[in-house]
Amino acid sequence: MNREVRVRFAPSPTGPLHIGGVRTALYNYLFARKHNGKFILRIEDTDQQRFVPGAEEYIIESLTWCGIKFDEGVHIGGPYGPYKQSERKAIYKQYADYLIAKGSAYYAFDTAEELESLRKQYEAEKKTFQYDIHTRTSLKNSLTLSKQETQDWINAGKPYVVRFKMPENRILQLHDLIRGEVTVNTSTLDDKVLFKSDGLPTYHLANIVDDHLMQISHVIRGEEWLPSLPLHYLLYEAFEWTDTMPLFAHLPLLLKPDGKGKLSKRDGDRLGFPVFPCNWHNPDGELYPGFREWGYLPQAFINMLALLGWNPGTDQELFSLNELVELFTIERVNKSGARFDPEKAKWFNQQYLKKLSNDELTELIKPIILERGINTTPEKLHKVIGLLKERAIFPQDIINEGIYFFQKPLQYDDAAIKKRIKPTSINFLEQLIDDLNSCNFANEELETAMNTFCQQHQLGLGEIMIPIRIALVGTTKGPHLGEIMEVLGKKESIDRITTFISYLKQFAF
């Protein structure tokens, strides 16, 4: 490849970025890095009606959280700017004019109402209306009006759009880097609007003009844009830019967990997992939860996303961003849709959480501790993390699972008490307290002390360990007893056992 690799992520700020969009950005990023190319962020905001305030900032914040960095873009500038289409408004009209002058595009004056009524008429006859080679000859456009009439209407300020004049019966053979050859007959395609009388181009025109002016070498984007490829190809041809036309790769869809259809925002609500990278507050106040706020680590999120649609050709599943850059190839992107698996997403997070040092996890957990008003010391937090991190999926699991390290049990598992504790244990527990009082509160010594106690009194281990555990934790869960007691310390442990003994004395066995 002798051309400089320049790829872009070109989202429209119409709402929060779905994880499918993050994956598109990621694959572009990996491809750019792999080929020592440039990665560009361009905001495609020509559709003013769908513009959502805050969406652009959200996109930048989310990708920054993921560790996806750009070389040029709306937020950092660069030699091909501006990188926001609304700021490039003055550029596009000349290109629309050029296409009209060449006969590749035409003015159309049909009003929205007229087109709507045609659509309904067609529907009534069980047909679909399309503005195309078959219908354009009977509609109000510069192909049916005289040159003079057209000019008069424009001068009179009659609203118009510019439409692409789709050629008749051409068989286009297009190449997609993922899908291979795609063949289309142009007679089946409609005359898409390229430019509107509000002075703004549509996506199609602005996208082609900008990709050309920004010298984009590869367009890597979602599968939903594959149907636009013939039009885009014909635009490059009409502008006589085919020599430098980018290569195209259309990424497979992200599917629902059951594989039936595209993953949507509603699936997240319905099945209880996030589909957005970060929390998004809709203008009407609705909250869409994000992976970040759920407790996902960006490295785990990126690793999981990378494998949704791409495979390394080996069994390896854990990859750092640098390894992904190293290994990524478009050839290994799958053609078929990739099923999002929320359980697998959690698995990835667990793997990455385990790899964090206790210090790193302490930093992540500090805000959770503050938010919940939990009083503790960094040393204690550190120890709790050490005990619980193996089993945690999210940082907050350590606090939720280990809440008894920070506060006395609010209640006891009565069912477990009934099933597993005998009233005779009460007496032994009282005696054990004496032994514990003279014991050094370190894990192994505590375990030995309790084992010895059981032997001396010919008790099964459970007869002592289970009541002590319920006394300290409230339930039968948790790590080794000695470890729990070491972290709680002598005073707190003995206090809890004493409180529990009183509880047992009242208990209806």
Active site residues: 265
Residue 460: how many other CB atoms lie within 10 Å: 9
Site stretch for ligand GLU (CB under 6 A), options 8-16, 49-57, 118-126, 331-339 = 8-16
Give the nearest distance from C-beta 225 to ligand GLU in angstroms: 5
Give the nearest distance from C-beta 214 to ligand GLU in angstroms: 12
| Dist. CA 140–CA 109, nearest whole Å | 5
Please pick, from the candidates 10, 235, 300, 385, the single residue that binds ligand GLU as defined by CB under 6 A: 10
- Residue 406 engages ligand GLU in binding (rule: CB under 6 A): no
| Dist. CA 253–CA 251, nearest whole Å | 7
Nearest CB to ligand GLU, comparing residues 11 and 309: 11
Cis peptide before 82 (omega within 30 of 0): yes
Determine contact, residues 30/324, Cβ cutoff 8 Å: yes
| Whole-number Cα distances in Å, 250 to 10, 303, 380 | 14, 20, 51
Residue 169 Ramachandran class (φ > 0 left, ψ -120 to 50 alpha, else beta): left
Give the nearest distance from C-beta 232 to ligand GLU in angstroms: 8
Cα torsion through 230, 169, 99, 102, rounded to 10: 150
Residues with Cβ within 8 Å of residue 304, at least 6 apart in sequence: 344, 345, 348
Give the nearest distance from C-beta 164 to ligand GLU in angstroms: 16
Nearest CB to ligand GLU, comparing residues 248 and 405: 248
Give the nearest distance from C-beta 221 to ligand GLU in angstroms: 3
- Residue 221 engages ligand GLU in binding (rule: CB under 6 A): yes
Residues with Cβ within 8 Å of residue 231, at least 6 apart in sequence: 164, 166, 189, 192, 204
List the interface residues with ligand GLU, window 165-204 (CB under 6 A): 203
Site stretch for ligand GLU (CB under 6 A), options 5-13, 288-296, 304-312, 327-335 = 5-13
Site stretch for ligand GLU (CB under 6 A), options 4-12, 303-311, 415-423, 479-487 = 4-12
- Residue 474 engages ligand GLU in binding (rule: CB under 6 A): no
Nearest CB to ligand GLU, comparing residues 115 and 177: 177
Binding-site size for ligand GLU (CB under 6 A) equals: 9
Residues with Cβ within 8 Å of residue 458, at least 6 apart in sequence: none
Please pick, from the candidates 46, 104, 150, 207, the single residue that binds ligand GLU as defined by CB under 6 A: 207
Q: Is beta strand 72-73 parallel, antiparallel or unpaired with respect to 38-41? A: parallel
Please pick, from the candidates 44, 110, 267, 486, the single residue that binds ligand GLU as defined by CB under 6 A: 44
What DSSP element (H or E) covers 228?
none
Give the nearest distance from C-beta 198 to ligand GLU in angstroms: 18
Determine contact, residues 494/437, Cβ cutoff 8 Å: yes
| Dist. CA 33–CA 37, nearest whole Å | 6
Which H, E and C letters describe 238-303, residue by residue? HCCCHHHCCEEEEECCEECCCCCCECCHHHHHHHCCCCECCCEECCCCCEECEHHHHCCCHHHHHH
- Residue 12 engages ligand GLU in binding (rule: CB under 6 A): yes
Please pick, from the candidates 11, 268, 467, 482, the single residue that binds ligand GLU as defined by CB under 6 A: 11
- Residue 32 engages ligand GLU in binding (rule: CB under 6 A): no
Nearest CB to ligand GLU, comparing residues 39 and 500: 39
Site stretch for ligand GLU (CB under 6 A), options 6-14, 92-100, 348-356, 394-402 = 6-14
Nearest CB to ligand GLU, comparing residues 204 and 490: 204
Give the nearest distance from C-beta 8 to ligand GLU in angstroms: 7
Please pick, from the candidates 153, 225, 428, 503, the single residue that binds ligand GLU as defined by CB under 6 A: 225
| Dist. CA 73–CA 84, nearest whole Å | 8
Residue 344: how many other CB atoms lie within 10 Å: 15
Give the nearest distance from C-beta 10 to ligand GLU in angstroms: 4
Beta-sheet strands, E only, within 186-238:
193-196, 218-222
Contact residues for ligand GLU (CB under 6 A)? 10-12, 44, 203, 207, 219, 221, 225
